[in-house]
């Protein structure tokens, strides 16, 4: 891929920012970028292309459409505070500088999950998603060598979601879509969503599953420890993937390209229990086309956001290096600002495996030209 050098002072894109609600602290002195050179990742003398599939943005132009709704919850204090103006500053330069420091060449830009307004009725949902996808596309068009888009869809309205997806792929050059792990209590395996999965398979576009806590268990996830995020997020992903396997969605649509955030939650570490159920408790686990663990190795992808070298090494051993891509979760506190070094820290990885995780696999999923 022919890549242009990043030039300082490049223009911002109005209406989209990279510090989502609640993250104004990211503008503090401890997060100020320096003017150092762009970090290039080289393994055994070969320049690596690095691609981050898990990072967020906030499209501020949607606010006028939702500001009067009672459904926006925790966003309301933000809408009526001075913090809004600070967060609303487009800061493409800030993000590019962070990418340069961290050794990230390309990011697949998605929304902050707080902008998935599944409460919105059809016409409002159509307007919200149109603005969100157009702004993401505008950013990517302005910086085509650094960003590709993961768009939004109004999955609470499956037929609308299909049309939004087709429009975004064909007219906005969207490379994939981020969805939550469930939609208003509906599992992603629900037959109502079969048209969505069928369209995603037909288009060959990647679907990035990102949890929004674990709605069904909120009553037990309060208190200290931010359990709704620390436990709830990986639990939501675990359940979503398990339903897609056991309800036959992955059998019905075998060509799907699905990537799961946060290393796929708990499933890769405990898929043996799912296998055991199929093999020894058939009355509870009806047969699927293959053992559940094989779907992880053959049909699903996972980001690398599992925090420690040992756990990343374990994830690789469970699903294979060719199924893993970089995920930073920029710009949240739960993200990993050293995602590239995390991959490089895994002992015994071949150059081929490092190249795959650092960027080759993600480039294939996202339609990015990969050198070499």
Note the pLDDT tens digit of each residue in 253-302: 999 999 999 999 999 999 999 999 999 988 888 878 999 999 999 999 99
Q: Are 269 and 318 in contact (CB under 8 A)?
A: yes
Please give the span between the terminal C-alpha atoms of the chain, in angstroms, as a whole number: 9
Note the pLDDT tens digit of each residue in 117-155: 999 999 999 999 999 999 999 999 999 999 999 999 999
pLDDT number for residue 25: 34
Predicted confidence band of residue 36 (pLDDT cuts 50, 70, 90): low
Q: What is the mean pLDDT of residues 45-50?
A: 93
Q: What is the mean pLDDT of residues 51-60?
A: 93
CA atoms of 343 and 261, how far apart (whole Å)? 16
More reliable by pLDDT, 14 or 54: 54
Where b means 16+ CB within 10 Å and e means fewer, 185-205 reads eebbbbeebeebbebbbebeb
Percentage of the chain exceeding pLDDT 70: 85
Question: Three-state SS for 82?
Answer: coil
Q: Give the chain's domains with CATH numbers.
A: 43-366 (3.20.20.140)
Closest C-alpha among 51, 40, 41 to residue 5: 40
pLDDT number for residue 9: 28
What tokens appear for 178 in the block?
Answer: 């981020």
Closest C-alpha among 10, 170, 150 to residue 92: 10
Note the pLDDT tens digit of each residue in 159-174: 999 999 999 999 999 9
Using alpha carbons, list the distances in angstroms from residue 371 to 20, 37, 100, 104, 270: 33, 22, 19, 15, 36
- Answering whether pTM is above 0.75, one says yes
Q: Specify the residue for token string 């950013």.
A: 139
Q: Specify the residue for token string 């490049």.
A: 10
Note the pLDDT tens digit of each residue in 317-350: 999 999 999 999 998 889 999 999 999 999 999 9
3-state secondary structure 143-157: CCCCEEEEECCCCCC
- Whether 23 has a pLDDT exceeding 60, the answer reads no
């Amino acid at each position: 891929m022919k890549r242009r050098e990043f030039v300082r002072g490049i223009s911002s894109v109005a209406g989209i920012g990279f510090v989502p609600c609640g993250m104004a602290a990211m503008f503090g002195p401890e997060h100020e970028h320096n003017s150092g050179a762009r970090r290039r990742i080289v393994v055994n003398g070969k320049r690596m292309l690095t691609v981050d599939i898990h990072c967020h943005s906030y499209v501020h132009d949607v606010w006028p459409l939702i500001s009067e709704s009672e459904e926006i919850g925790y966003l309301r204090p933000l809408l009526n505070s001075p913090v809004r103006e600070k967060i609303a500053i487009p800061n493409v330069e800030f993000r590019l500088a962070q990418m340069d420091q961290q050794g990230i060449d390309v990011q697949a830009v998605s929304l902050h999950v707080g902008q998935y307004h599944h409460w919105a009725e059809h016409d409002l949902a159509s307007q919200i998603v149109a603005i969100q996808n157009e702004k993401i596309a505008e950013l990517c068009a302005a910086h085509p060598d650094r960003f590709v888009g993961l768009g939004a869809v109004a999955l609470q309205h499956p037929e609308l979601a299909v049309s939004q997806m087709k429009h975004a792929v064909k007219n906005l050059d969207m490379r994939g879509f981020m969805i939550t792990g469930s939609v208003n209590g509906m599992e992603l395996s629900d037959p109502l969503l079969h048209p969505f999965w069928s369209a995603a398979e037909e288009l060959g576009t990647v679907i990035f599953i990102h949890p929004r806590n674990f709605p069904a268990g909120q009553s037990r996830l309060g208190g200290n420890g931010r359990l709704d995020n620390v436990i709830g997020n990986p639990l939501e992903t675990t359940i979503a993937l398990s339903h897609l396997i056991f309800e036959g969605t992955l059998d019905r649509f075998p060509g799907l390209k699905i990537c799961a955030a946060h290393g796929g939650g708990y499933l890769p570490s405990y898929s043996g229990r799912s296998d055991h159920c199929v093999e020894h408790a058939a009355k509870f686990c009806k047969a699927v086309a293959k053992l559940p663990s094989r779907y992880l190795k053959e049909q699903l992808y996972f980001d690398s956001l599992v925090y420690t070298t040992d756990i990343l090494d374990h994830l690789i051993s469970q699903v294979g290096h060719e199924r893993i891509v970089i995920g930073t979760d920029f710009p949240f506190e739960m993200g990993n600002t050293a995602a590239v070094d995390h991959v490089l820290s895994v002992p015994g990885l071949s150059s081929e495996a490092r190249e795959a995780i650092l960027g080759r696999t993600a480039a294939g999923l996202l339609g990015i030209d990969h050198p070499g």
